[in-house]
Each structure stands twice: as structure tokens, then as C-alpha cells.
Structure 1
Amino acid sequence: MRSDSHSPVNLFLLAVVNRRIVGFSRCEGSHLKRLAHIVEFGVCVLKDFWGYGIGKHLLTASIAWADANGIKKMALSALETNVRAINLYQRFGFEIEGILKNDKILCDGKYYNTVVMGRWHDDENTHC
């Protein structure tokens, strides 16, 4: 968190309920010129707090920050089984750019695909 707060290409947001951290989001950029237009986005919300719009608010704030700071592309990845998140991302203009097959193995011993998504910002791009 500390390094993100000192870097103009990164953003770290916390969701706090009753002084308890219940979620966070992060945008990680690069100082390399060829990657300066893009950030990697990630979000996490405690399961007990799913369904309250916390992830949506973190995503909205992250998109606003990226757009205001000249970021042209936000990239992310989601487990294929996280359909609610994938649908949320699509409502905000993210498109599926690819699938990483059998990319993750979970505690059930099964392999799962990772969905790679991106959102391109231009002046005509609108979101929810």
C-alpha cells in the first residue's frame, strides 16, 4: 500500500465497514514508456460482504481514476467460474480478450481457465 501511495501510476483503494477492511482494489501501472498507457486492475471483497455493491464501487472509482489520469487501457483477469464478476466487468465496458486454459489449480484439485479482459478508454466510451 505504501509504495502505491507514492507512485503516480498506481492506485490502491480500501473498502472499510465499521473500521474493518472488507475489500480493496488495485491498479498497477508501469513507468516503461511502452506500457505507460495500461494498468492491471484487481479487486477483492470478503465473501460476507458480497452483494452489497462494494466491488462495483471500487471498480467505479478505479475507472474514474484511470480515465482522469490518461490511462487508455485497464486489464484484468478473472477465474472462469466468477461469472458475477465477469458480467460486472462487461457492464463497465470490459471485453473478453482471451482465455488461459487450465491456468489455475484450486483446492479441489481441478484446473480452471482464466478469463483475460480489457477496457479501452476513449472520449466516446461510456460505462454504467
Structure 2
Amino acid sequence: MKISNQEFNIKGTFYTIRSAVESDAQNLSEIRVQIDGETQHLDREKGEAFMDVYDFEQLIKADTMNEKNLFLVAVVDSKIVGFSRCEGNSLKRFSHKVEFGVGVLKDYWGYGIGTNLLKAAVVWCDASEVRKITLHVLESNKKAISLYENFDFETEGILINDKIFADGKSGNTVVMGRFK
């Protein structure tokens, strides 16, 4: 699915949030690896589950054609600095919901990019047949949890010792949902 472009100017940084297009594939392949290496808040270690240009081209093509999926990018000076996805499910019993995920380059934290990617996804969901948005977030990521709560997400459960980090420590995952 596609949305209309949205323009923002936060703290003097101009950026656009728009639907991903196939020509974004190279940049997405590169920044996904970089983002994974900049934070422990995501599921992957740097370089894990690598997606190359072809993988991203196919994903973007499929998401654009699928009314239950939304792939957004945040662009500063023609460079992608963040992205989000809402992924639906073709099974009838789950067809009412999508799963949300987001990533933003660390140099662009604090400019409302993650917030505006989430807001665009919520607006899209509210205007569609989607009745529930789900997501997973590390319990230690208090800033993200607070953001999600500001968008009416509720905690549905906690997965204990759900992730193991490179240092051997574990983290709990909060399962959250937003209902239409």
C-alpha cells in the first residue's frame, strides 16, 4: 500500500516520510545493517538476517501491492535515515491486524522520525480495515514504550528472558497492541 508524502522540519532538519519504492533497496540494505549495529533494542545483531538489494526490491514490490502491508521510509537530503513496516497476515483469523516495526539511524534520533513513522502507520491503519496494531519492544526501552502508550498502545503481556544479548544478559519483551 502507498501513502502520500509528508514533510517535516524538526530542529532545523527537513525530512520526508513516504512509501518505499524499489529504487530505495540499496540504501535500505545498507542502513538496516547499520541500525542493527547501533542499538540493542532491535531483534538482530549487526549483519544477521541480511537482506540484499534483491530482497528489498521484492519486499517493497510485495508491500506496495498488498493492501495489508505498509512500508515507509524517512528521507533527509535524498538519504534514507529510517523506515517502518506494517505487515498484515493473509490468514482470515489474523486478517484484522498488522505488526509494526521501526528503525532509525542513531544520528537522527531526537528529530521525531520514529514518532512520525508511527503516526503515519496509525493513521493508515485507522483509515483501513485494520482493527489492531501489534508490536514487540524491549522492556528496558522505556522511551519507546512511553511513545507507544501515547498512541494508545496497551501492554498485552511480557515475554520473560525473551532475548539474549552478546554479553550473555537477557531482556524481557513487552507485547503491545493498539485497538481501533
Please indicate, yes or no, whether the TM-score normalized by the shorter chain is above 0.5.
yes
Question: What is the alpha-carbon distance in structure 1 between the residues aligned to residue 64 and residue 165 of structure 2?
Answer: 32
**Following superposition of structure 1 onto structure 2, how do residues 56-67 of structure 1 map, counting pairs within 5 Å?**
56-67=115-126
Displacement of 1:100 after TM fit?
0.5
User: Which one-letter code corresponds to 1:99 in the other structure?
Assistant: I
Question: What is the alpha-carbon distance in structure 2 between the residues aligned to residue 110 and residue 2 of structure 1?
Answer: 38
Question: What is the alpha-carbon distance in structure 2 between the residues aligned to residue 107 and residue 31 of structure 1?
Answer: 35
* Counterpart among 114, 117, 134 of residue 75 in structure 1: 134
1:114 aligns with 2:114: no
Deviations 1:17-49 (A, max 9, x none): 111111111000012211111000111111111
Quote the residue 1:103 is aligned against: 162
For structure 1, the 5+ residue unaligned runs are 122-128
Quote the residue 2:16 is aligned against: none
Quote the residue 1:49 is aligned against: 108
Decide which structure has greater strand share. 1
Quote the residue 2:77 is aligned against: 18
Runs of 4+ residues deviating >4 angstroms = none
Question: What is the alpha-carbon distance in structure 1 between the residues aligned to residue 88 and residue 99 of structure 2?
Answer: 7
* Counterpart among 95, 99, 102 of residue 40 in structure 1: 99
TM-score by length of 2: 0.66
* Counterpart among 23, 44, 62 of residue 3 in structure 1: 62
TM-score by length of 1: 0.91
Displacement of 1:108 after TM fit?
2.1
Q: How many residues align?
A: 121
Question: What is the alpha-carbon distance in structure 2 between the residues aligned to residue 39 and residue 69 of structure 1?
Answer: 11
Deviations 1:55-108 (A, max 9, x none): 010000000111111211000000111111100000000001100011111122
Identity of aligned residues (%): 60
When Rg is computed on C-alpha atoms for both structures, the one with the higher figure is 2
1:71 aligns to what SS in structure 2?
Answer: coil
- Please give the root-mean-square deviation of Cα atoms over the aligned residues, in Å: 0.8
